[in-house]
Amino acid sequence: MAEIEFKSVAKSFGKVGVIADLDLKVDDGEFIVFVGPSGCGKSTALRMIAGLEETTSGDIQIRGRSIAGLAPSERNVAMVFQSYALYPHMTVAGNIGFPLKMAGRPAAEIAAQVREAADILDLGPYLDRRPAQLSGGQRQRVALGRAIVRHPDVFLFDEPLSNLDADLRVSMRGEIMRLRERIQATMIYVTHDQTEAMTMGDRIAVFAPLKDGHARNLMQVGTPEALYERPANLFVARFLGSPKMNLIEMDQGQAPAFGTLDLGPRPPHGGALLLGVRPEDIRIAEAGVPGLAGRIRLVEALGAEYYVHIETAAGELIVRVMDKRLRPAPGDTVALQPAAGAFHLFDKATGERIGG
């Protein structure tokens, strides 16, 4: 168990800055997810903890102790890679036992530990096989076994499920969560998949790429609910949620298209504003009812719900419809009513959230 702290960490490869001004504290025993689009530095941050990359400036501490200059082996961290990264010439038992062998443990202890890890991961019957003889899911379980057998302070996961197909991804997600209950260790999980982030993390840290003009990577840290319900900026608002949040340009601080929209008390603001409304927070009513008038352009039927694309004076909006009785059809004219209080305001220039 260990807490990890990034202190003003920056990292650049040559002249290209990848991480800037990263301050983040991961609590002891916490499961935190680093999420963001490709190139946002989330994997680099993870690799700096593992010792596979050095920081350019700033400091990373585990248990209050700087890990600068320590070899990966001296950090007591375990890492699970996206590509499994198994040793192809060793058996499953050899793979799982390798860290213990490197630590110079006696053979009998290694065998016992490997057996225990294999039991946890249902790998018992495969101990004598080579990685090439295993399925993708089994391979990733071997990689998990190799990580847990060492009882490390910190588990690092670098997109461990990205190479698996959809079914397997869901079941492996469950497997990692079960593992998490069994093993009390700090876990950092990197993914670009917002579903994994929302379902697995105690907290989520949203990263943005510096190359897109952001001054720092870390956009917001918090519980999944907090991030979804109160995104701190446009980047987080756009990144979390599927379909994406609707963003409507406001004129003179008003959203005239929505008619009688009560934005509630808010601090006076000079610049241009964007109004954000999540697709599930808009209700479709019959035409003629007060609200934003629109015409249905496209209906995506997903079985349990519909995504309805509607052309309005405020641009095209997406509405998520759960009510099965409603049968929206392309060409219908409708009125849109936002749920009371379910909107977000952002400064268009800075992207920051305004008000509560």
Partner 1 sequence: MKKPLLGGLRWLVFALAVVILNFPVIATLVTSLKSDAEIMTNASLIIEAPTLDNYVAVFAMADRFDILHFLGNSLVASLIGSVLAIAIAFPAAYAMARLEVGRSWLLPLAVNLRAVPLIIFAIPIYLMYQQVGLLDTRFGLALIFCLVNVPLVLVLFASSIADLPLEIEEAGRVDGAGTLRLLVYVVAPMSLNVVAASSVLAFIYSWNEFLFGLMLTTNNATPVSVGASFFFAASGGGVRWGVAAAVMILATLPPLVLGLLMYRQIGRSMTAGAVKG
At residue 113, the 3 state secondary structure works out as helix
CB of 90 to partner 1, least distance (A): 8
CB of 262 to partner 1, least distance (A): 52
Give the CA distances from residue 10 to residues 41, 60, 125, 216, 312, in Å, rounded to whole numbers and listed in that order. 10, 10, 45, 9, 44
How far is Cα 271 from Cα 252, in angstroms, rounded to an integer?
A: 9
How far is Cα 114 from Cα 144, in angstroms, rounded to an integer?
A: 12
Which one-letter amino acid corresponds to residue 87?
Answer: Y
Number of residues that bind partner 1 (CB under 8 A): 34
Is there binding between residue 123 and partner 1 (CB under 8 A)? no
The kind and range of the H/E element at 321 are strand 315-321
Is there binding between residue 214 and partner 1 (CB under 8 A)? no
Tell whether the torsion through CA atoms of 258, 259, 261 and 267 is positive or negative: positive
Cα 5 vs. chain centroid, distance in angstroms?
Answer: 19
Is there binding between residue 2 and partner 1 (CB under 8 A)? no
Residue 8 or 73: which CB sits closer to partner 1? 73
How far is Cα 225 from Cα 135, in angstroms, rounded to an integer?
A: 35
Is there binding between residue 134 and partner 1 (CB under 8 A)? yes
How far is Cα 30 from Cα 3, in angstroms, rounded to an integer?
A: 8
CA-only gyration radius of the chain, Å: 24
Residue 133 or 195: which CB sits closer to partner 1? 133
Is there binding between residue 136 and partner 1 (CB under 8 A)? yes
Q: Which segment (135-143, 173-181, 226-234, 334-342) binds partner 1 by CB under 8 A?
A: 135-143
- 55-59 long-range contacts (CB < 8 A, ≥24 apart) are 55/9, 55/10, 55/11, 56/10, 56/11, 56/12, 57/8, 57/9, 57/10, 58/6, 58/7, 58/8, 58/9, 58/10, 58/22, 59/7, 59/8, 59/9
Q: Which segment (57-65, 95-103, 322-330, 336-344) binds partner 1 by CB under 8 A?
A: 95-103
Residue 84 or 207: which CB sits closer to partner 1? 84
Is there binding between residue 78 and partner 1 (CB under 8 A)? yes
CB of 160 to partner 1, least distance (A): 11
Cβ atoms of residues 318 and 307 within 8 Å: yes
Residue 36 or 160: which CB sits closer to partner 1? 160
Chain positions 138 to 157 lying near partner 1, rule: CB under 8 A, are: 139, 143, 146, 150
Q: Which segment (67-75, 115-123, 266-274, 326-334) binds partner 1 by CB under 8 A?
A: 67-75
CB of 191 to partner 1, least distance (A): 16
Choosing from 36, 41, 58, 131, the residue that interacts with partner 1 (CB under 8 A) is: 131
CB of 102 to partner 1, least distance (A): 4
Residue 134 or 273: which CB sits closer to partner 1? 134
Residue 156 or 237: which CB sits closer to partner 1? 156
CB of 3 to partner 1, least distance (A): 20
Residue closest to 175 by CA, chosen among 229, 122, 245, 254? 122
Phi, psi of 10 (to 5 degrees): -130, 150
Q: Cβ neighbours of residue 216 under 8 Å, at least 6 residues apart?
A: 20, 21, 22, 210
Choosing from 45, 79, 93, 179, the residue that interacts with partner 1 (CB under 8 A) is: 79
Binding site for partner 1 (CB under 8 A): 50-52, 71-73, 77-79, 81-90, 98-99, 102-103, 130-134, 136, 139, 143, 146, 150, 163
